[in-house]
Chain A
């Protein structure tokens, strides 16, 4: 089955700086890669996703890049703000989150230092 590795486990950046979280996946058939943000005690919230037919997607301060050859994808957050502090999870699946389910990484605790 699919295996997703996520790094780093903890990332501390100064407010206003950029943050980058990286994930690798094992199943070359995976074609859908969402990113979720989870604040303490709350539900995972989808922040951005990308499908294998594109290499990059951007939504305001958040962007995701995908390298299918190397089987890795990354989340980029620019101009970080205190409300960006949370745990971020990457995930992968061979469909749009269908019968195979989403395989998640172990998460990155992002800390924004004021």
Chain B
């Protein structure tokens, strides 16, 4: 198992609400990436944070936003939830400039009703 943790494990929201998901990176890692995994699909890259700045972004709308804190932990915020946002949200930590291999956390399963 990796040292990457996520909270909460499960969450149920209604359409239009806002949600915040949290991720603690593995010790020694300074970069956090977020992915959305729909049922039966591969993870899709949302964005990456390095040195508290967004370092790259996939094809997701602005209502998906994030933060990284000085201890390298990170938050994913989703506003105006839609039914299609129901998915497993995974964060992955890595060490920029070194091996850069990404290690995943257990994920947060979000259900939007």
What are the interface flags for B13-38 relative to A under an 8 Å C-beta threshold, 1 for contact and 0 otherwise? 00000000000000000010101000
Partner of B99, one of A42, A96, A102, A107: A96
Q: Contacts A97-B94, A98-B48 given: A34-B43 contact, CB under 8 Å?
A: no
Q: Would A107 and B42 count as touching, CB distance under 8 A?
A: yes
Query: Which residue on A lies nearest to B46, using beta carbons?
Result: A101
Q: Contacts A42-B106, A43-B105, A104-B42 given: A97-B56 contact, CB under 8 Å?
A: no
Rounded to whole angstroms, the CA-CA distance of A99 and B41 in the bound complex is: 22
Rounded to whole angstroms, the CA-CA distance of A95 and B31 in the bound complex is: 14
- Min Cβ gap A50→B in Å is 11
**Which residues, 38 to 52 on B, are CB-close (under 8 Å) to A?**
40-48, 50
Q: Would B101 and A43 count as touching, CB distance under 8 A?
A: no
Rounded to whole angstroms, the CA-CA distance of A106 and B42 in the bound complex is: 5
Task: How many A-B residue pairs have C-beta atoms within 8 angstroms? Tell me.
Answer: 75
- Counting chain B residues whose Cβ lies within 8 A of the other chain, the interface size class is 20 to 34
What are the interface flags for A88-114 relative to B under an 8 Å C-beta threshold, 1 for contact and 0 otherwise? 010100011111111111110000000
Q: Would A34 and B106 count as touching, CB distance under 8 A?
A: no
Q: Would A34 and B41 count as touching, CB distance under 8 A?
A: no
- Min Cβ gap A17→B in Å is 25
Interface presence of A16 (CB below 8 A): no
Q: Would A89 and B43 count as touching, CB distance under 8 A?
A: yes
Q: Would A101 and B90 count as touching, CB distance under 8 A?
A: no
Q: Would A99 and B56 count as touching, CB distance under 8 A?
A: yes
**Which residues, 40 to 61 on A, are CB-close (under 8 Å) to B?**
42-46, 49
Which residue numbers of A lie inside 8 Å of B, CB to CB?
Answer: 1, 4, 6, 32, 34, 36, 42-46, 49, 89, 91, 95-107
Assuming A45-B104, A97-B100, A102-B102, what are 13 further A-B pairs, CB within 8 angstroms? A4-B42, A43-B2, A43-B107, A46-B102, A89-B43, A96-B100, A97-B92, A99-B50, A100-B56, A101-B45, A101-B47, A104-B42, A105-B42
